[in-house]
Structures are given as C-alpha cells and as structure tokens.
Amino acid sequence: MEKPIGFSRAVRVGNIISVAGTAPIAVGGGVAAPGDLYGQTKRCIEIIQKAIEDGGGKLEDVTRTRLMLRDISRWEEAAKAHGEAFGEILPACTFVEVSGLIDPKWLIEMEADAVVE
C-alpha cells in the first residue's frame, strides 16, 4: 500500500531508521492471525524487523516501539509477543488504545524507531 498512499515502510536518515505504522499483513496478503492479538503482534514485529534489516540495521538497534491496540484490555497478549522480541533490547515503549484501524480485522498496528551504529 506504500505507493498508492504515498509513504515508505521505513525511512533511514543518517543512522536513524523510522518504521511506519505496520499492520499484521499475512505473507500472501490479507490479515495474519485473525482474532489473535499475540499472533498479529508477532507478525507486525516480523515486518518491522525486515524493514530495519533492509535499512541496514538489526532488531537490537530498536530504541522505541509504539503499539496501537483496538482493545487495550488485551494489552498483555501484545506485551507477551513484544517481550519475546524485545525483552533483552528494552526499547522505550508505548501502548495506546485507538478507536479504529484501516481494516477492522487488525487488532494492532505498530511503529518502531532504530538507531544504527
């Protein structure tokens, strides 16, 4: 959706990589892990990791993550997946509830920033 909307999945300026809002898009298209917030969070992290690696960084370079959830009462499901990926990295992190996302089947959208050495 990058071209029609006019945005980049990730942008690197100097040693900073900013990853745009990342939805749980399945490998072949559609929504990954329907109804499963943990699974959708894992998929978002996979997409973010690839974007950072494509920009010359690695997941360990992440300094901030933002998780936008449709239902904040389920935050622990997303936190579990986040902790598995970032438990040793410990980026600054924000969880917020939003009233809606582009696709109502998306339970989460994530952003990340990284500083590459």
pLDDT digit string, tens, across residues 57-79? 999 999 999 999 999 999 999 99
pLDDT above 80: residue 1: no
Tokens representing 89 are 């990295």
3-state secondary structure labels for all residues of 55-109: CCCCHHHEEEEEEEECCHHHHHHHHHHHHHHHCCCCCEEEEEECCCCCCCCCCEE
- CATH superfamily for domain 2-115: RutC-like (3.30.1330.40)
Domain extents in the chain: 2-115
| pLDDT (tens digit per residue) in 27-53 | 999 999 999 999 999 999 999 999 999
